[in-house]
Every structure is written in structure tokens, then in C-alpha cells.
Amino acid sequence: MTALRKTTVLFSSALLSMIVLPGLSRADITLLNRNNNLPMLNGLELQFGGLIRPQYRNKMGSADDHTYTQRGYDSGSFIHTSVNYYFNDDISLLWYYEVGFDIFNELGAGSHYDHNKDTTFRRKNYIGIASKRYGTLTFGQQNSVLYSVIGAKTDVWDNDMHGQASNNGVNGNYDGSYRGKKLLKYVKDAGPATLSASWDAPVDDYYVESDNVRYQRQTGGAGGIDYHVAKDLTLSAAYSYTRANIISRVPVRGGANTAGYNQEVTAIGAQWKPGNWTLAATAGYYHDFIPRHTARVPAAYFEGQARGWEYMAAYRWPVASRVITAIKPYLAGDGMRWDHFQTNHTDLGIAAELPHGFQIDYERTFSNTSDNQPDENWVRLWYRF
């Protein structure tokens, strides 16, 4: 079967699912309910879900002609399972596992994926104990405090995350800014506020192939707060600290092979959802966190100071139709500043929500950057289950 035919099968199967699976929704599929009257399993709850997300990307000016992104590719498909065991109405044990995969790689559509990337990879894997009264304590690979409190508020359109810490460090899984590995996290509701704190345990070194260096996280921690001013308005702040080393794999002429850094991120955010509107904005200050744009060596690997921000305004129109359930136009953007370098992106898009967990987006990115990034067009199909 050719790559074209396999790609056609993928999209045809997705559309067929809309017809033959009318009961599916965006909520996870419950495999086993609590209070199931099974011996020893009465407190057990099992759920399963995921997302299939093929996408088309086109850079203006023929910058990406004949690349896999212009032919259609996977932009972050995953499946997950969650297990909760309730001892009573207050206390439960939990386990969450999420694995990402490339649907085109799985189909063998060779011209639609990066052959240097893994077919599957672990996104999250953590265990914990939850209590409505005492809070939730988890350990493993999971969303960081920085991402949960700040980044997630503006990680909601296609070409996003260019102004926040979670997408601009060495690697968000290793520096603890995104889906941090070996992360101990505690979350507790306290009146109108949700408090979060975490500790980052040491992890295996991350090899930065382009610079021939290893990033070594020694330890770190973070704290954050979501203050719910009203039911539809949340103000947030977070701080993250990471102690890390940059280690060159080859001798550095006239310099040290190893350099230590105290990486800091301070960020604020706001989200307001009045009626059908969604308004969100975040901003951050990054100290020794953003890699330098050029000439990176261990002793001068990070920008000493950098600033970034993101924003979005969207309005969701419900539609009384069997084909489209809602239309959501939006305006979004981001910016970064350090030294004499800057990036600015403005995104105009529209999302069409379809029945049974499907959605299709179109987005146009207008770029104004020091390195002359091109404008881009994005088309993304979602299927949530």
C-alpha cells in the first residue's frame, strides 16, 4: 500500500468513525466504574482516552517545499489510561500513563514523518495519592508546576508556546519546565486559591546533539498559585528554580568543559472566560534559562536575561447543526526578547468543532523576527476519544 493510500485510509477511517460511533464524546472512556460490586475491586475506577492529531504545515516562500510537514504529518497523537482506587469518598490512590505515537510512522507512510524520531515515546507516567481534604501528592513524569499554573493557559492554539518557558529551554522534560521527569508535586485547594509546589529529583543527562553537550539537572523546585477571583477569572503566578550543568563532550579550546547554572523562571498569567469568550495572557522572566541563539559553549550557554509573553482571545459560537457544533475564531500571539534578538508571532485562526470529538482548525501565522522566520499556514484535524 502506498503512502498516499495509507494516508487516505487514515482520514477515511476517522470520518467513518463519526458515522458508526455516534455515542462517542470527548470524555474518556470508562472501562470500570467505582462501586462495581466486584470483590476487592469495588473501589477501582479505570479510564482510557486519547487524541489523534494529523496536521498540515506550509511555510511561505517555499521554505519547506518537499518536506514531510508539507505533505501532512502527526502533530502529537497520544493515548492514556488512568487508574484510581478509592478507599473512601476522600482518599484514593492514582496512576496515570500517557504514551505518544506517530500515526503516519505506524502506517508506514514514509514521506510523512521524521525518520530520526522515535515511533512511540512516553509523555507522562506518575503515581500518587489524592484527598479532597489534604490535597494531591504525585511522583513521576508529569506536568510541571510552571506549565500547569502558567503555560497551559496559552497552550491552546496550533503554533503556540513560543513565548513561554516550557517550549524554550534545553528540553522541558529534563529542565522541569514542561512534562518534568522524576517530579514530586503537591497540589492543594485553599479557599479561593489552588497552591502547587514541586521538587525535581536528579535525572539522566540529556544530550544536545546540535551543540555536542550534555545537560545535567542536579535538583530544582517550583511553587505556584492560581487565585480564583471569580468563577470565570483566575490570576496566577509561579516561580521555578533548577540547578544544572552544561558539560561539553569534547575539549573546549580556551574555556572550561563544564559550567554550572542557577536557572530561574518567574511568570504570571491570567485567564478570563466570561460567557462564550476565552481571554488569556501570560508573561515570564527567564534567567540563564533560554539557550543563546548562536555560539553556545558551556561557559556561555544561556542568555542571562530574557522575557517572553503570550496572549489569546477567542469567541465560541454554538451552531445548531448535525455537521458542525460550534465555530471558534481566535486571535493569538507571542513574543520573546533577549539582547538584540526578538521574535513576534501573530496568529489568526478559526476552529470548527464537529460531532463525536472531531475538530478541524485553520491558522495563519504572521512572523516578525530577527532571524526572518517566514509566515506560515496550519491545518489540523483532531479526534478526541
In sequence order, what DSSP letters do the residues of 82-112 get, joined into one string?
EEEEESSSSEEEEEEEEEEE-HHHHHT-GGG
Residue partners of 107: CB distance under 8 A and separation at least 6: 6, 7, 9, 10
Q: What is the pTM of this model?
A: 0.90
CA distance linking residue 380 with residue 55, whole number of Å: 4
pLDDT at position 23 over 80: no
* Identity of the amino acid at 333: G
pLDDT at position 9 over 60: no
- Residue-wise pLDDT for 82-126, tens only, equals 999 999 999 999 999 999 999 999 998 989 998 888 888 999 999
Lowest mean pLDDT among 195-199, 287-291, 339-343: 339-343
Which of 223, 249, 246, 248 has its CA nearest to residue 236?
Answer: 223
Grid cell locating 315: 469567541
Phi, psi (rounded to 5 degrees) for 110 = -60, -25
Cβ proximity of 368 and 179 under 8 Å: no
- Residue-wise pLDDT for 35-50, tens only, equals 888 888 899 999 999 9
CA distance linking residue 258 with residue 244, whole number of Å: 10
Q: What is the pLDDT of residue 340?
A: 85
- Residue-wise pLDDT for 229-275, tens only, equals 999 999 999 999 999 999 998 888 777 899 999 999 999 999 999 99
